[in-house]
Structure 1
């Protein structure tokens, strides 16, 4: 796609765009790539072909379709090209689809791997059991508004005291109730959720599992959870 093509306005109708996006996600290999990109980092085509167990040429064709549909972006760094999700709205869409895909008539015991269920990344914020417990605490402590859309003055002060720095210049929602696909309960998204993940990483309260969404809470992180969020 040339630069001129890239900046042309999208003339498709809403119905056509829905069909285009649905078609892009419908392939299992492309869905696997999108799920891999939910860890919030940029991946090379080679890495994505490896995680989907397909040939590099096939992966390139899939990535071209994802690019055309606007689900991913390509970033060039030197001689390398990296792919990442096109934005927070795409991550939210995928998380919602994960919730739908795991729903059953009766609430079953989650089949998600224990480590993935305990703590993982959801694009640029924390998800899993740990994140759900943090969100529940913040609601009960009145750190966030009843609708879950923003921190209260009490919550803002608590974040400041805990050394959790918010990006006040961010144009995204201050906070968002993001439905956790494995726990079927909410965790914090938006800038609040992103700030939590940034702080956990900067303070080595968690370590990422290379190539996967799972994260491991370190002993220092466990202490921080008890100190800030009164984890038992």
Structure 2
């Protein structure tokens, strides 16, 4: 292709194994240092710095300096959606980097995707919101309904404040493990933040996994019920 967007450049940036590992680690939403990312990529700090410079120049990373340390995070939510969707595509074609292990069930159940909930619980949450009419699924897009505004106000989420920001309120994000959509956007972020603030769930150190407490799990399931098909 001689005209239009150059996907080859983005493909080349993501296609390197070390850079792919670093980008995948950053989909957890936490900013990491070059040293931490070097460990993730299995490379030296000097090599990691060269890779990070390329990712930054390509618009995939955003560096931040705090004190003596320089941290890196994904440039924005669009990068996170790109990486998550590529992970889903790779999984659907059988391109897996490791055999399932002890961490696999926890990651598939609930994990952070940039700043919102993913995994089985993320998909369940969106399915439930669509089923109860809080969110409309229009093609590949999502839209908050009037009923949805009332629903979120009742659980302490200020929808008016979210609407005032420039970030999209609702976005559909392809889940790599479930291969279906979960809820992203400012609303997805607000929901996950509320789960943490209420003590329903917590992050796992060194992992993207989100662990729900027994009470948090009970509250979550009650708030986002899904219909179970009746056997014939």
Say yes or no: does 1:169 pair with 2:164.
yes
2:52 to 43, 48, 63: 63
Alignment equivalent of 2:70, drawn from 50, 75, 81: 81
Whole-angstrom distance in 1 between the partners of 2:226 and 2:186 = 22
Structure 1, residues 38-64: CA drift from partner, whole Å, max 9, x if none? 011110111111122211111111111
Structure 1 unpaired stretches of 5+: 1-12
Within the candidate set 138, 151, 154, 2:147 is matched to 154
The alignment covers a number of residue pairs equal to: 216
C-alpha separation in 2, matches of 1:68 and 1:103: 30
What residue is the counterpart of 2:211 in the other structure?
Answer: 216
Quote the offset at 1:231 in angstroms. 6.5
Q: Judge conservation of contact 1:165–1:199 (CA < 8 Å) in 2.
A: no
Partners of 2:115 and 2:33 lie apart in 1 by 18
The worse-fitting range, judged by mean Cα deviation, of 44-53 and 143-152 is 143-152
Equivalent position of 1:133 in the other structure = 124
2:192 — aligned with what? Answer: 197
Q: Per the alignment, in what secondary structure is the counterpart of residue 143 of structure 2? A: coil
CA distance in 1, matches of 2:220, 2:90: 31
If the length of structure 2 is used for normalisation, what is the TM-score? 0.86
Q: Which runs of 4+ in 1 moved over 4 A?
A: none
Alpha-carbon shift at residue 194 of structure 1 (Å): 1.1
Select the residue among 34, 40, 56 that pairs with 1:45: 34
Find the counterpart in structure 2 of residue 180 from structure 1. 175
Q: Helix, strand or coil for the counterpart of 1:230? A: coil
Partner residue, 1:142? 133
Aligned to 1:54: 43
CA RMSD of aligned residues (A): 2.1
1:132-175 residue CA offsets vs partner (Å, 9 max, x unmatched): 11111111101101315221111111111112344232212211
Q: More deviation in 164-173 or 56-65?
A: 164-173
Shift of 1:187: 0.9
1:96-140 per-position Cα deviation (integer Å, ceiling 9, x unaligned): 1112111139xxxx9581111000011111000011111111111
If the length of structure 1 is used for normalisation, what is the TM-score?
0.86
Is 2:81–2:174's contact at 8 Å kept on the other side of the alignment? no
